[in-house]
Amino acid sequence: MFLEIIVNAINIISMLGWTVFIIFGLFTFFRLLFRYGPRKALRFLLSLPVLITVVLLIAFSGLSFAVRYVPPENVAVVPSLLSPRGIRPQAMRPGFHMIFPFIESTIEYPAYWQTYTMASATEDADAADDTSIRARTSDGQEVLIDCSVIFRIDPVQAVLVHVDWQNRYRDDFVRTVVRGQIRTQISQFTAEEVNSSARLELEDLLNELLREELRRKGFILDQLVIRDISFSAEFASAIERKQVALEDQIASQYLAQRQRLLAGGRADALLIEARARAQALKVIGEALATSPELLSYYYIERLAPNIQVMLLPADQQFILPIPQLTATSSVSATNPLTPTVPLTDLNTLNTTLPLPAVPEFDDAASSEP
């Protein structure tokens, strides 16, 4: 910043010096010319003070032309009449520099990162040409690609950029190369691949190719960013229908798989149950083979919750059918099928078993011999 102030001060002083000298010299010349004639006026112009002043102003102006300050964000190339190719082979880096006045000059180029956007709509209208890149995939589908290129001029090769492109490098080189490479590489992919994860592969491939091509022309590529890929309305609608059908198919497959799992689970459960029953029957069979009376015990045990009283003949090997008993009935030992009345009910006992009548004796008759 301090050097820049010095350079600007030298330029201002030089301009002011020439301005004052010219105004004062013309005023004095015409005053002498009208008052004393041309001889006196010419003698004034050739006087020693005037000549010394001119020399000093020329030296000061030469110094102002010789001193050059390059800002940190720029580089400067130096066209020169002293160089065989008409330009210095190396560009000036940021800082304070000296050149030969009047036979050399400087032209500055930005050394910072620049973003060039190609899109149909962008927030930065100055950084875009307002045109998406139109390309076709390998299966003939038309796509519109919005992208941004982040690059800068290589300070070492700034002279090459000046000789080849001057200030036309953005539109005439970067734009043309990027559009051509994108169209070429898009033609190697199908529309479905461009719309899938292959987009990352496409972006990496474009970065690799463009980085090498820009490097040969004096530029450094940071990255190419694909901002958006648009398809025709018909193709976008077809993709949407296909996606919906795919989701329905996945849902159907999931339901079918779930039903198969449930059916398999039930089958496994039935198989396990059958094996358990078979094992249990095997154990029961082995127990009955050694103790046949377990069958009668098992049967009695199963009937026990539903039977209140049951009498079995001692000389029989089977169980007679037992009718459903109530709380007021039982089975006799002599006739299993005939219900008997409980002895606790005396009224019922009197009605079912009537007592025989007792004959009455006369007192008179009893007193006879």
- More confident position, 31 or 87: 87
Q: What is the pLDDT of residue 212?
A: 93
Give the separation between CA 328 and CA 341, rounded to whole angstroms.
8
The reply to whether 155 and 73 lie within a common domain is no
Give the separation between CA 319 and CA 298, rounded to whole angstroms.
13
The reply to whether 219 and 122 lie within a common domain is yes
99 with 131: CB under 8 angstroms?
A: no
Owning domain of residue 142: 114-231
Last residue of a domain, one of 231, 246, 261: 231
The reply to whether 224 and 206 lie within a common domain is yes
Query: Using 50, 70 and 90 to split pLDDT, how confident is the model at 305?
Result: low
334 is a domain residue: no
Residue for token digits 């459960």?
269
Quote the pTM value: 0.55
Give the separation between CA 62 and CA 7, rounded to whole angstroms.
12
The reply to whether 84 and 129 lie within a common domain is no
Average pLDDT rounded to a whole number, residues 38-42: 84
The reply to whether 48 and 143 lie within a common domain is no
Q: What is the pLDDT of residue 77?
A: 95
Q: Which two tokens stand for residue 249?
A: 């198919």
Q: What is the pLDDT of residue 4?
A: 63
User: Which of 9-23, 166-180, 260-274 tops mean pLDDT?
Assistant: 166-180
Q: What is the pLDDT of residue 303?
A: 66
Which residues are within 8 A (CB) of 157 and not within 5 positions of it... i.e. 6 or more apart? 218
Last residue of a domain, one of 110, 136, 151: 110
Q: What is the pLDDT of residue 87?
A: 92
Tens-place pLDDT, residues 225-235:
998 888 877 77
Instruction: Give me the CATH number covering residue 133.
Output: 3.30.479.30
Last residue of a domain, one of 183, 211, 231: 231
Does residue 341 have a pLDDT over 50? no
With 0-12 CB in 10 A as exposed, 13-18 as middle and 19+ as buried, what is 221?
buried
120 with 131: CB under 8 angstroms?
A: yes
Give the separation between CA 351 and CA 168, rounded to whole angstroms.
136
Residue for token digits 């490097």?
215
Residue for token digits 């301090």?
2
The reply to whether 81 and 120 lie within a common domain is no
Does residue 357 have a pLDDT over 90? no
Report the domain count for the chain.
Answer: 2
170 is a domain residue: yes
The reply to whether 123 and 102 lie within a common domain is no
Average pLDDT rounded to a whole number, residues 7-34: 82
Chain mean position to CA 188: 25
- More confident position, 146 or 369: 146
The reply to whether 103 and 122 lie within a common domain is no
Give the separation between CA 331 and CA 326, rounded to whole angstroms.
11
Which of these ranges, 171-175, 235-239, 339-343, has the smallest mean pLDDT? 339-343
Tens-place pLDDT, residues 79-134:
998 888 899 999 999 988 888 888 888 999 999 999 999 887 655 545 445 688 88
Average pLDDT rounded to a whole number, residues 290-308: 69
- More confident position, 150 or 241: 150
The reply to whether 11 and 89 lie within a common domain is yes
Tens-place pLDDT, residues 131-190:
888 888 888 888 889 999 999 999 999 999 999 999 999 989 999 999 999 999 999 888
Does residue 346 have a pLDDT over 50? no
Q: What is the pLDDT of residue 313?
A: 56
Give percent above pLDDT 90 in the chain: 24
The reply to whether 91 and 132 lie within a common domain is no
Does residue 360 have a pLDDT over 50? no
Q: What is the pLDDT of residue 152?
A: 95
User: Which of 121-125, 189-193, 277-281, 315-319 tops mean pLDDT?
Assistant: 189-193
Q: What is the mean pLDDT of the chain?
A: 77
Q: What is the pLDDT of residue 95?
A: 84
Number of alpha carbons in the 13 Å side-chain half-sphere of residue 28: 16
131 is a domain residue: yes
